[in-house]
Chains A and B, each alone.
Chain A
């Protein structure tokens, strides 16, 4: 059983509880164990870095140091948390002065940021550590009749200087995973595009237009559903779907699944077990 430290994203604790619930169901099936870091703090959600660059470095140095104390890599299942914590890591790794300043403060809590733990998305662990061949063998219910529209979300791809796993404009990792689960992933332009989440409360009209365009293309391509590795994308594409489509005069609807739910479905778990019934748009 390979162990990892697991960063609990705020949104998965509140609005998208089904993400952690579904991961908990199948993690042992795939030979991984995620140790939840109950002492971690909100990463700042791609906002804290300009509100206070130093507090941003401190909070995320602490988040990573909690994983380093356990000698484990830090695994994240929200794209924006991933991008945010990796951005902080890059800044800390590039500046000895910043590291020293942060570590002086963390010392009292018995923590030290050393830069020894990597920060990775759950999708990357499935592909690089568990391996697509192993996953293929573990599939009990192949998703072979389904046409799935993969929606990567921005912060697992860009900025490529911080993420670097996929081509930032021609990604393949999620497609490869879907292939291993027996599904057919469809090519469509929006798979590398934005969901509009980060302006929902500041420029709602723009966000809804962005979301509607993505949803419409997936529907036009006759996808059975959209799958995303990010709970923030899910919140827009599922929760705001009817509002976005109505505003843009688009008829119809399309379900949106989390990556963790699609893995669960292929491993033989039911909609109910995985929490899929909790979505706003149900098939």
Chain B
């Protein structure tokens, strides 16, 4: 026996999988089953679940297909984080286990539960339809099949990473706002929308963008970056979300939303005072009516505790405001030149 085989042999141990179980036809509520099996280092969570199904409990239900991190079917929560079972090493998870030797396996969150580790993907598909997550060709139908659409390498680079998405829904499962409101567009749909809107072959950019800036759309993202951190393909999803916002602010017609007004208030305040004027931020975002209705009771409490931000005339400008204003003005002329150059291309 060679040294490496001995090492391999020594690196085997009993591992307990604490698996979320629920069969709506039989069970009144979900519960956990513990399966303890002897495993060797190098095995994935999916292989371990397959072993349990084959040798221990054939009723255990989960989805899987390619076993190679391509199809996205086997996304589940492993030790409290959504990931692919087929690309997750059991030994890596043992290091993270809160209870020694126990790996917790649960279904994805934020999606309707069907059975054990299987969730319903229809809500994601429905939102992809709602926000037209496909290239809607701007080529007239009679030219289809006769002409080529050429995409430049530079253009492709802008959404290259976004095309890596395999629709596993890990980001959907970890999304903070989706957990707070099920109507929310969701990270994967924002990512795909960004990718379609950046595609020069697409003809419905404005229509798609107009939908994205409505309620439960792009402005409802709370910048928690959980989607990006959980993405099994390391796609910078927040760059796509910011990209849609930048696009929305640049274009007329989509500017007049509370999200855009809120974001632009930061730029205005920096230009005027070098710092944020918090007292009027709610009014500038949502108007006086909303502010009185939603924030007045709280304002009283804050006044009593002397926590209210000062009114605009009392906000002292940053000491370097004169230089800062000059610098911002100069950069604004650079930005204007960039735009001219871009629209001239």
Contacts and interface: CB of A to CB of B under 8 A. Distances in A.
Interface stretch (B3-11, B68-76, B197-205, B259-267): B259-267
Interface in B156-184: 176-177, 179-181, 184
Nearest to A243: B298
A14 B80 CA distance: 37
A203 B318 contact: no
B275 A42 contact: yes
A209 B220 CA distance: 13
A212 B318 CA distance: 35
B309 A198 contact: no
B319 A62 contact: no
Contacts of B307: 15-16, 239, 278, 280
A128 interface: no
A59 B318 CA distance: 12
A40 B166 CA distance: 43
Contact of A201 (B275, B286, B318, B319): B286
Given A38-B319, A41-B320, A42-B275, A194 B270 contact: no
Contact of B222 (A53, A199, A239): A199
B190 to A, nearest CB: 13
A42 B302 contact: no
Given A54-B335, A204-B294, A62 B327 contact: yes
A202 B246 contact: no
A55 B301 contact: no
A101 B334 CA distance: 9
A170 B318 contact: no
A155 B229 CA distance: 12
Interface in B105-159: none
Contacts of B216: 203
Given A42-B266, A50-B263, A109 B320 contact: yes
Interface in B312-345: 315, 318-320, 323-324, 326-328, 330-332, 334-335, 338
Nearest to B227: A158
Contacts of A280: 301-302, 305, 307
B338 to A, nearest CB: 8
Interface string A209-246: 11001000000000000000000000000011001000
A108 interface: yes
A278 B223 CA distance: 28
B47 interface: no
A210 B331 contact: no
Nearest to B244: A50
Contacts of A161: 236
A31 interface: no
B37 interface: no
A102 B229 CA distance: 30
A93 interface: no
Contacts of B328: 55, 58-59
A207 B318 contact: no
Contact of B319 (A39, A108, A210): A39
A52 B310 CA distance: 27
B278 A49 contact: no
B94 interface: no
Contact of A48 (B270, B285, B305): B270
Interface in B242-263: 242-243, 245-246, 249, 258-259, 262-263
A138 interface: no
State which size class the interface on B falls in.
35 or more
A150 interface: no
Interface in A79-113: 101-102, 105-106, 108-109
Contacts of A142: none
Contact of A196 (B180, B267, B332): B180
A114 interface: no
B229 A158 contact: yes
B270 A40 contact: no
Contact of A55 (B226, B259, B335): B335
B308 A15 contact: yes
Interface string A10-45: 110111100000000000000000000011111011
A40 B331 contact: no
A52 B305 contact: no
Contacts of B318: 38-42
Contacts of A197: 222
28 contacts: A10-B275, A15-B309, A41-B274, A42-B266, A46-B223, A47-B262, A49-B242, A50-B246, A53-B246, A58-B331, A105-B327, A105-B330, A108-B323, A155-B223, A159-B228, A196-B180, A196-B222, A197-B222, A201-B286, A202-B258, A202-B259, A203-B222, A206-B177, A206-B222, A209-B181, A210-B179, A239-B298, A280-B307
Given A45-B266, A52-B267, A193-B224, 7 more contacts: A10-B278, A15-B302, A39-B318, A207-B222, A210-B222, A213-B180, A280-B301
Interface of B: 80-81, 96, 98, 176-177, 179-181, 184, 215-216, 219-226, 228-230, 236, 238, 242-243, 245-246, 249, 258-259, 262-264, 266-267, 269-270, 274-276, 278-279, 281-282, 285-286, 294, 297-298, 301-302, 305-310, 315, 318-320, 323-324, 326-328, 330-332, 334-335, 338
